[in-house]
A = this chain, B = another copy of it.
Amino acid sequence: MDNNRIYYSLYESKIMTAEQAARLIEDKMIIGSSGFTKAGDSKAVLPAFAKRAANEQVGITLITGASLGHTTDTDLANNNALYKRMPFQLDSSLREKINDGSILFIDQHLSETAELLSNRHLPGIDIAIIEATYVDENGNIIPTTSVGNSATFAHLAKKIIIEINTAIPLDFKGIHDVIIPQDYPNRHVYNVTHTGSRIGQDFISIDPEKVIGVVFTEMTDSPARETESDETTTAIADHLLDFFNREIKAGRLTKSLLPLQAGIGKVANSVLSGFAKGDFEHLTMYSEVLQDSTFELIDSGKLDVASASSITVTKACYNTLLANFGRYKDKIVLRPQNISNSPEIIRRLGVIAINTAIEFDIYGNVNSTHITGTKMMNGIGGSGDFARNAYLSIFVAPSVSKGDAISHVVPMVSHTDHTEHDVDILVTEQGLADLRGLAPRERAKMIIDNCVHPAYKEQLQDYYNRALERGGHTPHIIEEALQWHSSLLQLGTMKQFVFQEQG
């Protein structure tokens, strides 16, 4: 046993194997587990439970911060160990079971899960499973690479299992800033007034009496996927950087912009990497995930401070970070996701939010979650928390995919996650549509002129022209509005669709 990981002697009698801990979970229990975008997840107990479920009919409702790493969600899904899952996932096996209806999934704004639990709008947590760097002399938990919903889980759960991960350096202590929502009607202000503000404690406070198991692991997080810029992502990034430069020239922003939030993925990474080249200085980030680009920007001296709920980076970046943690420690803060994604703080700081759309329509409504209106991809994640409250709400997407069988700019989105009220800027590799101060008919012109792929431009203009003849504040041909999607389902393409006026 590692003596410098448990400073609270009463826990020593609770040390057990992952298999023993997994036996403490009963069928139909509600489990809250650490883990946010593959960072700081349960690496022993949940996998052991998944194994147990291979031989036994036993299942849980699993609530996490966001996605889990390794093959945990895959194994849980394939072994029928999940009845219900929330608030986010990013796993192809789990996704399949969600879409065939065998696992119920609740797609939640990431800021809201802790709220719903605190308000008892969701059932109570039976067991919280929390990854720890170590436990301190009062039995409290020093988290690892994410905070997620862990503090709320630990606070509300009847019982707690701690996974001490010895792969995480002890000097992670100090990067976390933890606070839980007070009960209504006595909520306090979340007094974050700049990106680096600290308003809580650097540990998760727990009642040691609730701890029923302590498990040791030594295992790094699943690495983020390597993302190489390509022509499309570079073009999108360039359009956005041009836009920011114009905003600076117009005097609306300074070279420090305002705190940046970026969703996960190639485009976001491309944009953020672009800032390293540009004439920007003293940037800050108020986001949900710190990615490779965050640490590149810190290295380049452009980024002063970054706040999020997790660190999710590639293998190489992870190794550099762990080996040189002191270089970054005073520049990063990890918070609970109800604080990293808090509407209050996002609006107060004036966050610039950059998120990825599955598709958007000619009026600027955005679908972030559902393929052809029915199949869940990953979940809304934090995009809504940010888009709705941001100083600027930006969504990016390639204009087409699968060759040009799919247009990501459509007459009407097949599912709405972000309404046109909450979308300021849309960008594809074709160009950027600045929708600020525009009425729907102006938005349509701007989007068709700037964002649509040439293969779909005429087709979309034709739809819009005919919709205009029908009139309305937001013109549509209602019986044709979703035909691009049904064409995709039936014919495998949105293209060359022959329109007949049906009205």
Contact = CB atoms under 8 A, between A and B. Distances in A.
Given A350-B184, A473-B374, A416 B416 contact: yes
A277 interface: no
A329 interface: no
B374 A476 contact: yes
A471 interface: yes
A472 interface: yes
Interface string A305-329: 0000000000000000000000000
A187 B106 contact: no
Interface on chain A toward B: helix, strand, loop, or mixed SS? loop
Nearest to A346: B343
A441 B473 contact: no
Interface string A449-479: 0000000000000000001101111111011
Contacts of A418: 419
Interface residues of A, number: 86
B478 A485 contact: yes
A359 interface: no
In this complex, the member of A391, A418, A442 whose beta carbon has the largest number of chain B beta carbons within 10 angstroms is A391
A347 B109 CA distance: 14
Interface stretch (A38-46, A113-121, A201-209): A113-121
A374 B474 contact: yes
A373 B478 contact: yes
A273 interface: no
Contact of A374 (B108, B259, B375, B470): B470
A70 to B, nearest CB: 23
Contact of A187 (B84, B256, B349): B349
Contacts of A421: 107-109, 112, 380, 384, 417
Interface stretch (A95-103, A264-272, A400-408): A95-103
A23 interface: no
Contacts of A475: 101, 374
Nearest to A418: B419
Interface in A256-309: 256, 258-259
A191 interface: yes
B185 A471 contact: no
Nearest to A184: B350
Contacts of A489: 478, 503
A439 interface: yes
A349 to B, nearest CB: 7
A348 B189 contact: yes
A392 B370 CA distance: 25
A482 B483 contact: no
A185 B258 contact: yes
B376 A416 contact: no
Nearest to A379: B473
A389 to B, nearest CB: 6
Contacts of A493: none
A473 B370 contact: yes
A415 interface: yes
A167 interface: no
Contacts of A483: 479
A476 B100 contact: no
B184 A193 contact: no
Contacts of A392: 121
Contacts of A389: 343
A473 B105 contact: yes
A20 to B, nearest CB: 31
Contact of A472 (B106, B185, B193, B374): B374
16 contacts: A84-B439, A104-B441, A106-B437, A112-B421, A115-B347, A119-B391, A121-B392, A343-B343, A343-B389, A344-B344, A370-B474, A374-B471, A375-B472, A416-B416, A479-B483, A482-B482
